[in-house]
Structure 1
Amino acid sequence: MQDISVPDYYPQFSCTGPLCEDTCCSSWSVGIDRDTYHKYKQNRHPVLAPLFKLAVSKNISADATNRSSFGVMKMREDGACHFQQEDKLCAIHAHMGASALSDTCRLYPRYLNQFGTQRENSLGVSCPQAARLILLNPQPMQFLSMAPDPEIDARPFVSYRFPLNNDGDPAQIAVLNDFRAVIIAILQARDLSLGARLMVLGFLLEDAEKVFSSRSFADASELLPVLESFVAMLSHPAQLEIQFAQVTPNVPRKLELLAKLITQALAGSASARFKDCLLAAAQGLAAVPAASTLERYAQSHAGFYQAFFQDRQYIFENYLVNQVITRLFPFARGSYLDLYRELVSNLSIIQGLLVGVAAQDKGLDEGRVIQVIQSFARYSNHNRNHLDQLLESLRAGAQDSFVHVMWLLREA
């Protein structure tokens, strides 16, 4: 098996088990791969067999034919897994070992992707320990090769794959890999403000989409002049900042988007850890006789929020770069415009929640920031309704273009 490309944080990860401040064993749907489903159904272990009968069922949803979600693990009424013990560890793991776990349970929070012939592993920020490793490193994220782990990488599981059904043409894949490299270079261009970087990313995606959608398009190499022009553009940060300053902010609409998210999440499947953040943000931004919601947002942003993030923009940079690598952005699914909307709006919601939490807590620290980003990622990554509702809200009354998403990039 060939070496695997990983971000520099990947080899450092180790599950903290019962010490974890969250649990990956509750409040979401857990798919069971076909092989594990049949093993569980045939199991005769005196402790586990009754639980397998109770908790494991055939997946009857639309993706039931998918090998990785052949079965599903039903949760208890309180949202916890039937196999979670009092010590927060897994009974299947305790009695049968790690090899008996389903792909979902054994691999989380890992993403096992394939781009062309290259296997790429990474971690998602919906796990607290992974979030700390990913987000709190002040150095730009780098990539390295490592030997595969047989226990992890020998499993026939792929999170995202591009192309979907084959390895693609090596020459075309090489150009598209250059495309990804330029995207990451833009997000890590620290001579630019974070908002300006995302503005440039939007322009790049727009130009790339024009190339690929052209009637005369024949080869990915047609994208190379576009990539070269954007690399050259990064050497003129002052001009790009002037251009970004012309983007009109719309904080009232941003607060409407945030309020809708808070309402939906509190009424839905938000975890207790995320609800704590939502309630703090709502209370921190709630209007009072002395100040409106807009005024409280502005005060907290200019004071508590800016004081913490003035020298920590790398937290958001790392979040964005990690979203690019875990999701094979922008190739895995959807239009470039919708993927850009999703990336930008999720960041904007995180920033808005942090402003609200900072107002309530009278400041921020690394632990609270990790809690907000990790618990939001857990909610949004595993809740398809969140994305659908978010995109619907952003499309409402807006023109269908990259420029008309960029108001989200202005924080105040």
Structure 2
Amino acid sequence: MDNISVPAYYSKFACIGPRCEDTCCSGWTISIDSATYDKYTKNTHQKLAPLFRLAVSKNLFPSSDSTYGQMKMKANGSCHFQEEDKLCAIQKNLGAKALSTTCKVYPRYLNQFGSQRENALGISCPEAARLVLLNPEPMQFGMVALDPGVDDQTFRSYRFPLQNDGDPSQIAVLNDFRAVIIATLQLRTMSVGARMMVLGCLLEDANRIVTADTFVNASELSSTLASFAGMLSNPAALEAQFVQIQPNVARKLETITEMISSSLMVGASARFNECLLAAAEGLDADPVNEAGTPGVLARYLQSYTAFYAPFFKDRQHIFENYLVNQVIARLFPFTRGTYLDLYRELVFNLSITQVLLVGMAAKYEGLDETRVIQLFQSFSRKSDHNRSHLDTLVKALGSGAQDSFVDVMWLLKDVHP
């Protein structure tokens, strides 16, 4: 494996250091792998050794080698090694090689699908979010050589299969599955909502096949994939089906507001909290209790029509890029949960961002790319690095084993298809 598959944006990324609006050196737990933990606890550097003794601790319940230890943060949430210029004292004094796996890798995802290494960027980093989301062209992919400073890690963000490279013939079919998913999400002759509808239908059919008692081989998916690939040749008919789905904006606002108040507001960063408060103020809604009132609903629909829809009329690529990047960065739908639960998560996350953007548009009487990036990036930092986020969403939706993808379609509808 001499080459790594990456999106075209990947090689353009460079950390902007002290100019970053939301430093990765503050606001969350920083894990330390076992090898780095040993180096830090044995370090004798005059300046750093006292800080290592103060800040480095062993994790009592590590989930993997990469979480063997952790950095204790200051009372204000920042890392003890972040200096006044917002740069890292470890990297300054010992070089990048001395950083833990977490600090070396972020905001990259280092994945493996079968025998193929795949890298991507997570949008919880502001600079990465700009690269991923703002490109108006459909996301493209290519191959790059290994970067010794990053890709020599044994660590994998996500891996499928978990224990080995799998059967190449079955991996090839599942790669075709991913290709159909990405082709669906990038089909710009349909609205984003209609694309998500088709994706849900595909995943439900695939889920039915792979969970059957008689399922033996991934090749059983091939006819379904071919059928769906053929469906994409008639986008007008698919869009017409999506138009028939009835919106329930009041329910959407109530459900998402409850999710925000019960989970997303808890421990929200200052940057994300600014978005939450702006959305609530824009809709004149108490973040906890008033989302379903007629006044809030009227303000939501007014902002959607007056501000949100005009801004995104020629910027649907932002949502498309968000969805495609979630698929590639997290090996969707093969890790973390069932096909349908992961689909529900994707729908719910998309709807949360849309509702908050409508509220923010009401507050500011419009949107710009800076505020859009702030919302996506700060929401990603809260959700994508939270292991309980998926379970919380599924519980909020009241999903059950017999549910269909159709049961979350109302989250994708507002006043227009």
Match of 2:309 among 274, 288, 306: 306
Paired position in structure 2 for 1:78: 76
- Counterparts of 1:78 and 1:341 in 2: how far apart (Å)? 35
- The alpha carbon displacement at 1:387 in A equals 3.1
Distance 1:69 1:243 in 2: 47
Give the SS at the match of 1:286: coil
In the other structure, the counterpart of 1:120 is 118
The verdict on how the C-alpha distance between 1:170 and 1:287 changes in structure 2, with shifts beyond 3 A counting, is closer
User: Displacement of 1:265 after TM fit?
Assistant: 5.5
CA contact (8 A) 2:264 2:382 kept: no
1:389 equivalent among 372, 380, 392: 392
3-state secondary structure, aligned to 2:86: coil
Distance 1:250 1:379 in 2: 26
TM-aligned CA distance change 1:218 to 1:193, over 3 Å: same
TM-score (norm 2): 0.95
Task: Report the counterpart of residue 44 of structure 1 in structure 2.
Answer: 44
Indicate the residue corresponding to 1:215 in structure 2. 213
Compute the displacement of 1:263 (Å). Answer: 2.4
Amino acid at match of 1:7: P
Is 1:377 matched up with 2:375?
no
What SS does the corresponding residue of 1:270 show, helix, strand or coil?
coil
Structure 2 CA distance for aligned equivalents of residues 123 and 139 of structure 1: 17
Deviation at 1:386, TM superposition (A): 3.5
Q: What is the identity, as a one-letter code, of the residue corresponding to 2:328?
A: I
Match of 1:106 among 80, 104, 108: 104
* Distance of 1:112 and 1:349 partners within structure 2: 27
Greater mean alpha carbon deviation, residues 84-93 or residues 5-14: 84-93
Q: How does 1:319-330 map to 2 (within 5 A)?
A: 319-330=322-333
**2:297 aligned with 1:294, yes or no?**
yes
Report the count of equivalent residues. 409
Q: Which amino acid aligns with 1:312?
A: R
- The one-letter code sitting in structure 2 at the alignment partner of 1:155 is Q
For residues 65-102 of structure 1, give each alpha carbon's deviation from its aligned partner in whole angstroms, at most 9, with x where no partner exists.
51111111111111111111111111111111111000
Q: In the alignment, what sits opposite 1:315? A: 318
8 Å contact kept, 2:340–2:405: yes
Letter in 1 for 2:341: D
Counterpart pick for 2:225 among 205, 223, 227: 227
Amino acid at match of 1:58: K
Q: Alignment RMSD, CA only?
A: 1.7
- Look up the equivalent residue of 2:227 and give its one-letter code: S
- Tell me if structure 2 keeps the 8 A contact 1:266–1:275: no
Instruction: State the distance in 2 between where 1:181 and 1:375 align.
Output: 29
Q: Give the TM-score normalised by structure 1.
A: 0.96
User: Conserved in 2, the CA contact under 8 Å of 1:58 and 1:71?
Assistant: yes
Comparing 296-305 with 396-405, which one deviates more in the overlay? Answer: 396-405
Which ranges of structure 1 fall in alignment gaps of 5 or more residues? none
Given the alignment of the two structures, is residue 188 of structure 1 paired with residue 191 of structure 2, yes or no? no
> Partner of 2:120: helix, strand, or coil?
strand
Question: Which residue does 1:68 correspond to in 2?
Answer: 66
* Residue aligned with 1:384, SS: coil
Counterpart mapping for 1:9-158 below 5 A: 9-61=9-61, 64=62, 66-158=64-156
Matching residue's letter, 2:260: I
Secondary structure of residue in 1 paired with 2:27: coil
Question: Which residue number corresponds to residue 407 of structure 1?
Answer: 410
Question: Is the 1:5–1:145 contact (alpha carbons within 8 Å) kept by the matching residues of 2?
Answer: yes
Counterpart amino acid of residue 249 in structure 1: P
Identity over aligned residues, as a percent? 64
Shift in Å, 1:291:
7.1
1:199 is aligned to 2:186? no
Shift of the alpha carbon at 1:385?
3.7
Give how far 1:397 is off: 9.1
The 3-state SS of whatever aligns with 1:78 is: coil
Shift of 1:260: 2.3
Q: Does 1:368 align with 2:371?
A: yes
Q: Distance in 2 between matches of 1:399 and 1:216?
A: 19
Contact kept, 8 Å, 2:342 with 2:390, in 1: the verdict is: no
CA distance in 2, matches of 1:286, 1:264: 19
- Whole-Å separation in 1 of the counterparts to 2:265 and 2:63: 31
Question: Residues of 1 paired with 2:136 and 2:407: CA distance?
Answer: 31
2-side partners of 1:369 and 1:36: how far apart? 37
Contact kept in structure 1, 2:124 and 2:378, CA below 8 Å = yes
The corresponding residue for 2:257 is 259
* Residue 175 of structure 1: how far off its partner (Å): 0.3
1:350-380, CA deviations, whole angstroms, 9 ceiling, x for partnerless residues? 0011000000000001111000100000011
Question: 1:27, 1:269 within 8 Å by CA — same for their partners in 2?
Answer: no
**Match of residue 164 from structure 1:** 162
The one-letter code sitting in structure 2 at the alignment partner of 1:303 is: A
Aligned with 2:119: secondary structure? strand
What residue number does 1:357 align with? 360
Tell me the distance in 2 between the aligned counterparts of 1:357 and 1:250: 20
Judged with a 3 Å threshold, the aligned counterparts in structure 2 of structure 1 residues 407 and 215 are, in CA distance, closer, same or farther, namely same
The Cα shift of 1:266 comes to 6.8
Q: Kindly tell me: are residues 266 and 207 of structure 1, through their superposed partners in 2, closer, same or farther at Cα, counting changes over 3 Å? A: closer
Distance 1:390 1:86 in 2: 39
- Change in CA separation of 1:213 and 1:287 when aligned onto 2, cut-off 3 Å: closer
In the superposition, relative to structure 1, how do residues 52 and 284 fare at CA in structure 2: closer, same or farther (>3 Å)? same
Distance in 1 between residues matched to 2:390 and 2:87, nearest whole Å? 31
- For residues 23 and 368 of structure 1, the distance between their equivalents in structure 2, rounded to whole angstroms, comes to 17
Q: Kindly indicate whether the alpha-carbon contact (under 8 Å) linking 1:330 and 1:339 is maintained by their aligned counterparts in 2.
A: yes
Q: Which residue type is aligned with residue 222 of structure 1?
A: E
Q: Residues 33-75 of structure 1: CA distance to partner in whole angstroms, max 9, x if unpaired?
A: 11001100101111111111111111112xx151111111111
Q: Which residue of 2 aligns with 1:343?
A: 346
Q: Give 5+ residue unaligned stretches, structure 2.
A: 287-292
